[in-house]
Structure 1
């Protein structure tokens, strides 16, 4: 019976992959697959007769129906409360950076610093974009920054496909360190009580995240340098039209605000929510947005509202992921029975596999946690790999392939449409560099955690 149930579970996994690639609604997809992965193991447990199989997984093969559905449909979503809180506060902070004009001021000063050299300006804007999105999150934030940066790059004569590719990959580079996105990934790794098995401020994880950010940013700089190696000097005033109507004066001391939450966490161990709050208040104070108590209340209320709206499309998906995660725990005995002797338990082999086949993170494929990669993770958890290794293994293609260049990501689709670049051109430009980034990071992951 365990082999039959395992085969049915594997078939449903491939069904989810096809559904995701065809652009199906992932929130509904996760709910359906979570339900299937709850019903099938319970059915298998009822008719299992192999005493060794039953004894090998106490608490799973003998779980009651009520305990199983409570675990999947109640305890799962409840355990994600902390993730959603982090998302809301991070989105609020993002809106504060936009409304105060701090993000725009950083970009403006960067263009002025770059002088008359397009390659220098492009590289500096990539660095600034990465720094901004190390804390800023949400499709609305990417669009808001994109409508500033993309016209500047294109007005300097930088090819549209490079402008979009370098900007989006810079956004993705920052996401390696981004507390909001990291919180979503970390929520895939919870214990029985809903507590995270690995935390954002874990020193090894933070060190790995910083390395990931620098590796991807470095690859963006290489892509820019190779593409613009023969580009002629232009005058920076040609970019002024794209910046003329932006918010007014922003003091220099306000420009540290985007990285303030992370600095407070790393240096002073200030919790990330308090860090978002302090950084938001600091930004409003130094930008003159706290002139009256009533005005501050209105501003905070509006920015909170706008931030939640920015992240609303993610919330439903985020609440379905823990349902799937908990159902995957019920499937572990059956996946092990079917695949335990097939899937290698060597981290070296798995790392090579993920490096070579990194593009499977595109189009919600089996290597991205924003697609059917959640099912892949469920299978790999059953093999017994360490949590830090699995986290890094799955996050690399999720960020570099999915978040940074995939057309199924909302802001990538917006950027390509905004610049009138074809999907083929976009992938032809960015995929080789994203692939190399994934390969390098998988090597680093194996060295650090394998």
Structure 2
């Protein structure tokens, strides 16, 4: 703490016991942008008895996300994640082991593996849409979830696991996500049906991983991830048993499913709502596949306009509206004093709509990445996948899966929304589009 650190200006109003919970949870971006515009880049308010410090400027957001964790930690999230993956595993382990988890799972996320994943992802998307026939309707979110689950199962574990367990993954992983979302309001150990479904889903997923993953491996990978992890020495001197390996792989599956499928749905919905940009992205696909090009990582990287669409979907509909940190000790953030009894948040929902970073921030505009490169002008402008010391290592996997899915759809079908006014489901994990969000499709001639 510095002697000149300033107290956080408090948001006025609030109700007894719940504080500012209603306006904050109803529309986080609107509430935070309005209060920051009135009170400055750092504010304090109360949600359900918790004092919250919010920071909303590029510099302060970078300071929070780049913090070393000595005063700011992630216990608020870990407390809710422990029941999802089981006690004694993953988020119930010390920080040095959490860092080790990223290291041990790196083989399936490094560039060489991602290049192999392109072929697998295209195969899964093409096989999925092959059953659609010449024309019809489908729910975008359902399709995105089912295809994402198949891609994640094939690429992170292997084809045998995808064949056996893949069809059940959307429901089982959905139970984990629903329980995690509920745990922000009700203690994750409460005797509720949603938590019992969570526990049954976790047990079923863990069991199938331990039964099927040994001997299975993604296409083009020499050794399966499960076999690589089991028996590997850990930083504390112990070796990883099958239960711990299954929890690590389940963490990969869960992380690769929820945010990816939601962002995939929004990517397509926003494109289809903006015909000007849809025609640009469609023309790019037609040009790249004019000579029946074989999908490769290099070809995927040439899909610049589709990539801009993925970024714009993340900006307008980030998978989490706020990123929380616990304050373990009094801390000075950019000259603002935050006491230890507070929670610190940075909000992708608000940060992605700052007018000093993104021109006309409420407008869907792919030129902001192509011509103006607004996403490169400030530190941490897009934080839908985190940032600083805790950038999600699976972000390239998610973006690649989204690009492949919509590349196949735009290449093979004429598409339109049955109802263009698709809104976010507020009371749901990852803020997916509200259902039904129907896609009308007509297969194009080869």
TM-score, shorter chain, exceeding 0.5: no
Larger Rg: 1
Relative to its length, the structure with more strand (as a share) is: 2
